[in-house]
Amino acid sequence: NLQDKLDRAFKVLKGQGSITEINVAETMKEIRKALLDADVNYKTAKAFTDDVKEKALGLNVLTSISPGQLLTKLMNDELAVLMGGTVEELNISANPTIILIAGLNGAGKTTFSGKLANYLLTKKNKKPLLVAGDVYRPAAIDQLEVLGGQIGVPVYTDRTSKDPVAIAMAGIAEAKKNGQNVVIIDTAGRLAIDEGLMKEIAEVKAQTKPHEILFVVDSMTGQDAVNTAKAFNDRLDFSGVVLTKLDGDTRGGAALSIKSVVNKPIKFIGTGEKMEALDVFYPDRMASRILGMGDVVSLVERAQMQFDEKEAAELQKKIRKNKFDFNDFLSQIQQIKKMGNMKDLMGMIPGVGKAIKDVEIDDNAFTPIESIIRSMTPYERENPDSINQSRRSRIANGSGTNIAEVNKLIKQFEDMRKVMKQFSNPAAAAKMMKGMP
Ligand code: GDP
Ligand code: MG
C-alpha cells in the first residue's frame, strides 16, 4: 500500500544526516509513484514532488530529526496547501440561499442533498427545503422524500412535471412562502457527461441563480473523477466540490488532482451512507490521509524529544557524586542544539509558534560557551576546580573570548553544579528549601 511505499522511500533517507540532492531526488521518485497509485494525476504529482524537492534542499537538517521525518512533515504541509490550505466555508448568508447540486449518476447527489440539509439544520441553525429536481427517475423523488423524512426536512416535489427548471423555480417560491432560508436543489445525473444533461443543468443555473453550485463526485472513480470535474466546471463554473465515498480506506488522491485541475475548493466529504456521514473538508487532514499516516507533527516532535535514556541515568550518577564536569556540560549543550533550531523547537510548544513568528531567535547563543569549553584541555574539563588564573587567560586567548567571559562561564558552571548537587540529594534539597522564604 501507499504507506509501505512511503516507508521504502524514507528508507533511502534513513541514517543520512542531511537532505542532499541525491537522496531527495530518489525519494521524490518514490513519492511520485506512490501518489500516482493514490489516483493523483501525473502533472499534479510531478509539480508537487518538484516543489517539495526544491523546498527540502533549502531545509536546515539537524541530526536528531531524521531527514525522512522532516520531509514527511514538509510533504504534509505542502499537500495541504495544494488542496487549498484552509477550510472553505459554504456561502449561506443570502435569504433564501440557493444551492444547486450537480454530478453524474450514482455520484451521491441525492444522498449528499439530504446530508447537507441535515448539516444546515443541526449545525448551522438553518431551515432548509429540499427540491426534487431529478425528473427522470420517480425512484429518485421517493429517495429524497425518505431522506427528508429521516432528518425532518420538508421536500418539494412535483410528480406531474418533467421540467427541472420549473420545479426548481416553484421550489424556491415555496421556500419563500414558508420562510425556509436554504433551498437545496437535487438534480438528475447521467451515466456519462452528455450535452443534454449539461444543457439542462446550465438552464437550471441560469434561472435559479444559485449562491453555491456544488459538484458531487465519487472519489472511488479515481482519474475519471478529475475528467468529470473538468467537464462540469467548464460548463457550470461551480463553486465547490463534494467528494463522496471517502469512507473506509478509500484513497483521497482524487482530492488533490481535482483541486489542482479545476482550482475550486473541496467543501465537504461524504464518509458513509448515513445522513450524519458528512465532514467539512480539512486540507491538512486529507494530506495526512493521502500520505497514509496519522499525526505527522507528533511524529516529528517525538523524534525531537528523544533523549538517550542511558546517558541521562549516567548523568544523574555523576551529578550525585559531584562529578558533573565540562564534558557533560558540552554534551548537554549539544543535546539541546541537536533537537533543532531554537525557533522551530519553541514553535512546537502550543501557542508559542504564532507569538514568536516575527521574533529573531539567536541560534548561536551557545557558540562562545562551546568555544571556551573546547579550548580547555581534557584534564581541565574533567577537573573544573583546577582552572586557575593562568589557565583562564590561556583559555580566553584560545577561544577568542576574554577573561571576563571565561570567568563568567566558570562561575555559572559552579553555581549550576551546586544547585544540581542539592537537588540530587533529597536531604540537602529539603535543607535548602527550608532556608527559603
Ligand atoms: P446520485 O445518483 O448522485 O443521486 O447518487 P445517490 O445519492 O443515489 O447515491 C448512490 C449510492 O451511493 C447510494 O447507494 C448511496 O447510499 C451511496 N453513497 C452516497 N454517498 C456515499 C458515501 O459517502 N459513502 C458511501 N459508502 N456510500 C455513499
Ligand atoms: Mg439522485
Q: Which of 241, 268, 303 is the last residue of a domain?
A: 303
SS3 161: coil
Closest atom, ligand 1, to C-alpha of 186: 4
Could you tell me which of 129, 123, 120 has the C-alpha nearest to residue 153?
A: 129
The C-alpha angle 72, 246, 69, rounded to 5 degrees, equals 5
The H helix count followed by the E strand count for the chain is: 21, 8
Ligand 2 centroid distance, CA of 40 (Å): 27
For position 359, which CATH number holds?
Answer: 1.10.260.30
**ipTM above 0.85 for this complex:** yes
Helices 67-82 and 296-305 cross at an angle (nearest 10°) of 150
SS3 12: helix
Residue located nearest, by CA, to atom 9 of ligand 1: 108
Ligand 2 centroid distance, CA of 110 (Å): 4
Whether 22 and 57 share a structural domain: yes
Closest atom, ligand 1, to C-alpha of 104: 3
What the block records as the C-alpha cell of 258 is 481535482
Neighbours of 436 (CB within 10 A): 5
Whether 352 and 204 share a structural domain: no
Give residue 62's identity as a one-letter amino acid code.
L
State which residues form the domain around 429. 308-434
In a domain, 144, yes or no: yes
Ligand 2 centroid distance, CA of 139 (Å): 9
Ligand 2 centroid distance, CA of 113 (Å): 9
In a domain, 286, yes or no: no
Whether 365 has a binding-site annotation, put simply, is no
Whether 148 has a binding-site annotation, put simply, is no
Whether 247 has a binding-site annotation, put simply, is yes
Whether 74 and 101 share a structural domain: no
Q: Which ligand is nearest to the CA of 135?
A: 2
**Sign for the pseudo-dihedral over CA of 154, 160, 162, 163:** negative
In a domain, 76, yes or no: yes
Whether 185 and 272 share a structural domain: yes
Whether 362 and 232 share a structural domain: no
Whether 116 and 265 share a structural domain: yes
Residues linked to residue 419 through DSSP beta bridges, in sequence order: none
Q: How far apart are CA 32 and CA 5, in angstroms?
A: 10
Which residue carries 509501505 as its cell?
A: 4
Q: Which ligand is nearest to the CA of 132?
A: 2
Pocket of ligand 1 (CB under 6 A): 103, 105-111, 189, 244-245, 247, 270-273, 277
Closest atom, ligand 1, to C-alpha of 107: 3
Ligand 1 centroid distance, CA of 3 (Å): 28
- Within 8 A by CB and 6+ apart from 293, the residues are 3, 6, 72, 299
Whether 152 has a binding-site annotation, put simply, is no
For position 44, which CATH number holds?
Answer: 1.20.120.140
Whether 80 and 102 share a structural domain: no
Whether 154 and 203 share a structural domain: yes
Whether 59 and 172 share a structural domain: no
In a domain, 289, yes or no: no
Whether 319 and 416 share a structural domain: yes
Ligand 1 centroid distance, CA of 162 (Å): 24
pTM of structure: 0.65
* Ordered per-residue pLDDT tens for the chain, 437 residues: 555 655 565 555 554 445 565 567 777 777 787 778 767 788 888 988 898 888 877 765 544 455 666 677 788 888 888 888 888 889 999 999 999 999 999 999 999 999 999 999 999 999 999 999 998 888 999 999 999 999 999 999 999 999 999 999 999 999 999 999 999 999 998 777 788 888 999 999 999 999 999 999 998 887 788 889 999 999 999 999 999 998 866 666 777 788 888 989 999 999 999 999 999 998 888 887 777 654 444 444 444 444 445 566 676 777 777 788 888 888 777 766 665 555 555 554 444 445 555 656 566 667 788 899 999 999 999 999 999 999 999 999 999 999 999 999 999 888 877 776 665 555 555 555 555 44
Residue located nearest, by CA, to atom 5 of ligand 1: 108
Whether 384 and 405 share a structural domain: yes
In a domain, 287, yes or no: no
Could you tell me which of 106, 154, 107 has the C-alpha nearest to residue 132?
A: 154
Helices 67-82 and 21-37 cross at an angle (nearest 10°) of 50
Whether 67 and 206 share a structural domain: no
Please give the tally of structural domains in the chain: 3
